[in-house]
Amino acid sequence: DGDPFDSEDVMFTWEDCILDENVTFWSDQTKFSINGQPVTLEAIDEYTVKWTFPEPFANYMLFNMDMLDFTVAPAHIGKQLHPRYNSDNDYISFTNSQPSDMLPAVTMGPWVPVEYQVDEFLVMRRNPYYWKVDEAGNQLPYIDEVTFEKGDSGLGRTLGTLAGSIDHTNLENPSSYVEATRRLQDEDAHFYIEWGPETLFFSLELNLSANLGVETERDEAMRGLFRDLRFRRALTHAIDREGVAQSIIRGPFLRPFPGGISPGSNFYSRESVAFYDYEPDVSRTLLADLGFEDTDGDDILNWTDGPLAGENLILLLNSNEDQAAGGQIAEALVLLTQDIGIQINHRPITSTTNADNDETGAWEARIGRSEQVWAVPNTRCNDLAPVTKQEPGWHREGSEPRELLAFEQDLIDLVNEFCTEPDSARQTDIMAEYNRIYTENVYTIGTVLGRYGLALAERFNNVPGGTPAFFYQWTWSNVNGDQVWVTPDNQLQQVLPNTIPMYGDQAGN
């Protein structure tokens, strides 16, 4: 908005957002710690900040200084609203001080949101204060306007791209792959598709926390069951992964996956994987060993002791409404686990509800789609094991200390070594050992594996060939979007032509 970007903005973000435990932010101090020792940050002068790390070769910390992990908040606005500097405000009012319709937003990005209709559309215009120029001295970005429409799901976005009303979609729902490739063969198709490596997979995640979200006797009993390797093995042996893959989409698009590091990762080693085959008889033996019997003859196993004695063995399973394949996998698991005497009650939920449940621990089981830590673990290594309070999502730490499973400490030790290991060959060896322990202990229960695809309008120029939809980040964080351009004859009519973002008092005074 014209106010200089300087060390004050960085330090306000660090001290008053990331380190302030009263502020809900993308990350906290645990994200910026190495082996329990904190990273420190100080301002040297107006335009210089100094990072100090407790151990050498903390290269991965560079990836913590990016969008979301360290999204810089403008100090000249935030300080007026933060309780530390404004005694008239509390933390609730600080959190709610800048609603989504307070536009234009202050940003260092190439485009500025200038108009927003809730659950309808967003219009972004070129940022007049953007800081980049091209090699000829022309101010970037080249594109004047970017618009977004609210969609019900990623599948709807893909259908809009196939129809020609949308310029870009991340192909992430395998059920749409056949239709997308067919549409691509039509002469009037306005897009092309780039397929990435095998980094798209879906896993059955069980809540392994012994205390976060535990409120009832049932919660306590189920968490104890989830934390028993015999139960996790019973579930993984019950899954016909090849059958699940073909039920989602016929053909070679998907294949079985046990969990752990993605085969599309440079750190993947096939030899390190422990794969438990589809053997429902083994599942039945393991469940019997846990004490379960069908005592009432309804083909569903019953608890035989404890506070749930006599009750059916029922698993509450969530899937994300925006991830169509996740719902399909959940429905397949309903039938597969019924065959071994487990009743699954499946409930699709919104991504917002899923995020809330993740934070509070108020969930039992869910179908999770792969995050990029499993593809490029060197960029997010702290997320691989219970190193921070937030990760992994299926074993978060709440107000009480986390009760680690025995093998989790082994994973933590490996991750701490991996994060600061400068030798790539040694890193690969560490990840092989990590993946062996992960898959042997069925930390999560992998189901099927495939590839993300990028479908992008052909009229865009300066997008590197082979750009994956999701590798280090989603597409437009892998592409220099400010340097993408369109020839005059392929440009579209603008929604708000000749509009320049005009800033008022963003602090609401």
Q: Where are the alpha helices (DSSP H) in 82-176?
A: 91-95, 154-163
Q: Bigger pLDDT: 470 or 287?
A: 287
Report how far residue 294's alpha carbon sits from residue 302's, in angstroms, rounded to the nearest whole number. Answer: 5
Tell how far CA 163 is from the center of its chain. Answer: 28
Tokens, residue 353: 């509800």
Query: Do the strands 343-349 and 314-320 form a parallel or antiparallel pair, or are they unpaired?
Result: parallel
Tokens, residue 381: 């290594």
48, with CB counted inside 10 A (0-12, 13-18, 19+), is exposed
Report how far residue 427's alpha carbon sits from residue 450's, in angstroms, rounded to the nearest whole number. Answer: 25
Helix axes 280-289, 229-237, angle to 10 degrees: 160
Q: Bigger pLDDT: 188 or 36?
A: 188
**What does the pLDDT read at residue 394?**
97
Measuring CA to CA, how many Å separate 325 from each of 200, 353, 395, 405?
11, 18, 24, 30
352, with CB counted inside 10 A (0-12, 13-18, 19+), is exposed
Summarize pLDDT for 166-217 with one digit per residue, the tens.
Answer: 999 999 889 889 999 999 999 999 999 999 999 999 999 999 999 999 999 9
E strands within 275-364?
314-320, 343-349
Are 363 and 395 in contact, with CB atoms under 8 Å apart? no
**What does the pLDDT read at residue 490?**
94
Nearest-10 Cα torsion for 182, 187, 190, 193: 40
Tokens, residue 485: 């351009």
Summarize pLDDT for 436-494 with one digit per residue, the tens.
Answer: 999 999 999 999 999 999 999 999 999 988 888 887 888 877 788 999 999 999 999 99
pTM across the whole model: 0.86
Give the total residue count for the chain. 509
